[in-house]
Structure 1
Amino acid sequence: MNRHTHATIEVEGLTKNFGPKEVLAGLDLELAPGTVLGLLGANGSGKTTLIKCLLGLMKPTSGSVAVLGDDAWNLSAATKSRIGYVPQEVATYPWMRVRHVIDYTAAFYPNWNHEFVADLVRRWHLPLEDRSGTLSVGQLQTLGIVLALGHEPELLVLDEPVASLDPSARRQFLRTLIDIVEDPGRTVLFSTHITSDLERVANQIALLRTGRIEFCGELDTLKERVKRIRILARHDLPNTFAIGGALSCTMEGRVATATVVDYSPDMLDELRERWEADISASDLNLEEIFVELHESRSPRAMAAASSEGSY
């Protein structure tokens, strides 16, 4: 496969309005080849709108979007053949049998991997002779995943791909995805609310809020910078007790618990000396970090989280 040296995705100043409502507000994003990016955001934050603008399914109001070197709104046939996409709701031809849907899709791709697809169909128990219109929601989602993977795309875009899958099917999909992302030239953008899935496959995380990317960087770096601190002081802490840069803080008597976004070992030493306290720090999982960052109203907190490992 011919690999290109430019960024797989380049977005600058992207805005998208629906009437007076601004859904994307001057968004910037860049993905290097080989990146596996987990896109996180609350409902209504603009994730699906961003994905549709990236794929040329929706025209931006302003700004620029380039995918694999092409303007997203004018993707060439050659560029489209290098992209795989699984939407939230898979649409197909309800009168066609699953076998025929796969064959019809394969006809558009000269590099279709028939052996790989046959293996996926077997492992995921897709009923080849059933009409696609009779499939369950989960089976239809599975079919959409197969259709997106069959040509082994250079860029794979997944918009809530496992929302309708049962736990067994979801686990099988993640195993396949882990194998796929081992290719250093393949780029994946994975939007999902299931943060544990992102922790398994993503090496970068982007947090989308109110139409902007407010954090984008390495998952490991994010976990190193956001920690939960527990403080046990010798005496009751004052009502004015606070930790600069904390996303949240609760206090009761001699005990305080805070989530900080610019953690460093020096911070513990400083707090230990200042409050004559026993201090401990613990890790947070991605879901806990997402909730803390998303609910924080502090631009400083977001800037601190993004200060290392960002694009």
Structure 2
Amino acid sequence: MNQHTQPAVLAARLSKSFASKQVLTDLDLSIAPGTVLGLLGANGSGKTTLIKCLLGLFRTSGGRAELFGQDSWNLSAGVKERIGYVPQEVATYPWMRVRHVIDYTAAFYPRWNRELVADMCRRWRVPLDDRSGTLSVGQLQTLGIVLALGHEPELLILDEPVASLDPGARREFLRTLIDLVEHPNRTVLFSTHITSDLERVASQIALLRGGQIEFCGELDLLKDRVKRLRILADQNLPSSFAVAGALSCQVDGRLAVATVADFSPQEIDELRGTWNAEVTVSDLNLEEIFVELHESESPKLSPADLVGTAS
């Protein structure tokens, strides 16, 4: 991606507070067109607040939030037509039948793919003749996804979109999402706790912690840098044994198991030489990395090696 391309999503020193509670602080995030970015953070880390600031649903307390170069608080109708959004809790018109909700929503968009919508409704068994107020939470979430995808938005923002879906509906949604993101200029910001879903669709990962983006970059880079080491020495290791850059380290006699945030082969050679140890390096999946990072007080990821922008 050309680094001079205007970001589809931009947060610059973005801050948001509610009364005396500071949720986001000087947060920076840039997402280039065509990027599929997974947003991860612990409960209460501010993911939904960030999304709502980006969409102009919350006014920022400081800094900037922009979509397609426009201030999020003052988005034009033209930019809004390019955006699809699935919130955590979908709200609709409870007295309207589902097919009428779809028709009503379609009327707001000059470009509405009726064939795509009909296909999604069929595959996801959307009850078109039921009143939307009688839908289950999962059915309402499915309807929200259909409404967000119907106009094939250039920017799709998803806030825990599959939390209420059954496994079959979740699989169908991911299959549809994978098809949609094949378009080179379609951008997706996908917030979810289901890390396996992100590993299937996301090329970039942003980790939100302490009101700021701790890491933003290639998923493969994150996996390359965060590793688990199994260190077996020829004699008992001291209780003070430590590994540089370790997020966690447990010692039991001759054995130590450490997770490092800034893996380097040179460090492995040093451990082998210093402790006359056998060192085994293991890969971690995204869920394991996320747990390690958020259970660790310090050190955090090395900014020099890891922090970047999704561009």
TM bracket, shorter-chain basis: over 0.9
Q: How does 1:78-227 map to 2 (within 5 A)?
A: 78-227=78-227
Amino acid at match of 1:249: C
Q: Structure 1 residues 160, 216: CA separation in 2 closer, same or farther (over 3 Å shift)?
A: same
Counterparts in 2 of 1:202 and 1:71: CA distance versus 1, 3 Å: same
Kept in 2: contact 1:261–1:305 (CA 8 A): no
- Name the counterpart of 2:37: 37
1:301 match: secondary structure: coil
Match of 1:230 in 2: 230
Local SS of the residue matching 2:79: helix
Secondary structure of 1:229's counterpart equals: strand
Write the deviation string for residues 94-131 of structure 1: whole angstroms up to 9, x where unpaired. 00000000000000111100001000000000011000
Find the counterpart in structure 1 of residue 63 from structure 2: 63
For 1:182 and 1:236, the matched residues in 2 are separated by 53
Contact 1:222 1:305 in 2 (8 A): no
SS of the equivalent of 2:133 reads: helix
**In the alignment, structure 1 residue 23 sits paired with structure 2 residue 23:** yes
**How many angstroms apart in 1 are the aligned matches of 2:6 and 2:174?**
28
- C-alpha distance 308-210 of structure 1, shift in aligned 2 (>3 A): closer
> In 2, Cα distance between the equivalents of 1:170 and 1:259?
32
CA contact (8 A) 1:10 1:67 kept: yes
Deviation at 1:297, TM superposition (A): 1.9
Q: Is residue 38–residue 202 contact of structure 1 (8 Å, CA) maintained in 2?
A: yes
In the TM superposition, what is the alpha-carbon distance from 1:240 to its structure 2 partner?
Answer: 1.8
1:301 to partner: Cα distance: 3.1
Which sections of structure 2, spanning at least 5 residues, go unmatched?
none
> How far apart are 1:264 and its partner, in Å?
1.9
Answer yes or no: is the 8 Å Cα contact 2:214–2:307 preserved in 1.
Answer: no
3-state secondary structure, aligned to 1:185: coil
Describe the SS at the equivalent of 1:22: strand
Residue equivalent to 1:291: 291
TM-score (norm 1): 0.96
Contact 2:90 2:144 in 1 (8 A): yes
Q: Which amino acid aligns with 1:88?
A: Q
Sequence identity (%):
71
1:265 maps to: 265
Letter in 1 for 2:268: L
Output the amino acid matched with 1:120.
Answer: M
Q: Given that residues 82 and 153 in structure 2 are in contact (C-alpha distance below 8 angstroms), is that contact kept between their aligned partners in structure 1? A: yes
User: How far apart, CA to CA, are the structure 1 residues paired with 2:230 and 2:118?
Assistant: 53
Give, in whole Å, the separation in 1 of the partners of 2:175 and 2:49.
28
Write the distance in 2 (CA, Å) between the matches of 1:307 and 1:97: 48
Q: Give me the whole-angstrom Cα distance separating, in 1, the residues matched to 2:261 and 2:61.
A: 34
Output the amino acid matched with 2:188.
Answer: V
- The 1:278–1:193 alpha-carbon spacing in structure 2 relative to 1, beyond 3 Å, is same
Alpha-carbon distance in 2 for matches of 1:309, 1:71: 20
In 1: Cα distance, 2:165 partner to 2:119 partner = 18
Task: Pick closer, same or farther for the CA change 1:299–1:67 going to 2, 3 Å.
Answer: farther
**Any idea what SS the aligned residue of 1:289 has?**
helix
CA distance in 1, matches of 2:263, 2:302: 13
Distance, in Å, in 1 between the alignment partners of 2:204 and 2:127 is: 35
Rounded to whole Å, the distance in 1 between the matches of 2:147 and 2:164 is: 16
1:47 corresponds to which letter in structure 2? Answer: K
Deviation at 1:177, TM superposition (A): 0.5
Task: Give CA deviations for 1:63-117 in whole Å, capped at 9, x if unaligned.
Answer: 0111011110000000000000000000000000000000000001111000010
Stretch moving more, 292-301 or 257-266: 292-301
**Distance apart, 1:266 and its partner CA:** 2.0
Give me the whole-angstrom Cα distance separating, in 1, the residues matched to 2:305 and 2:37. 17
Contact 2:31 2:309 in 1 (8 A): no
Q: When the two structures are aligned, how many residues end up with a matched partner?
A: 308
CA distance in 2, matches of 1:168, 1:66: 35
Question: What is the aligned partner in structure 2 of residue 249 from structure 1?
Answer: 249
What is the Cα deviation at residue 303 of structure 1?
Answer: 2.5
Distance 2:172 2:42 in 1: 26
Distance, in Å, in 1 between the alignment partners of 2:254 and 2:304 is 28
| 1:221–1:309 CA contact under 8 A, matched in 2 | no
TM, length-normalised to structure 2 = 0.96
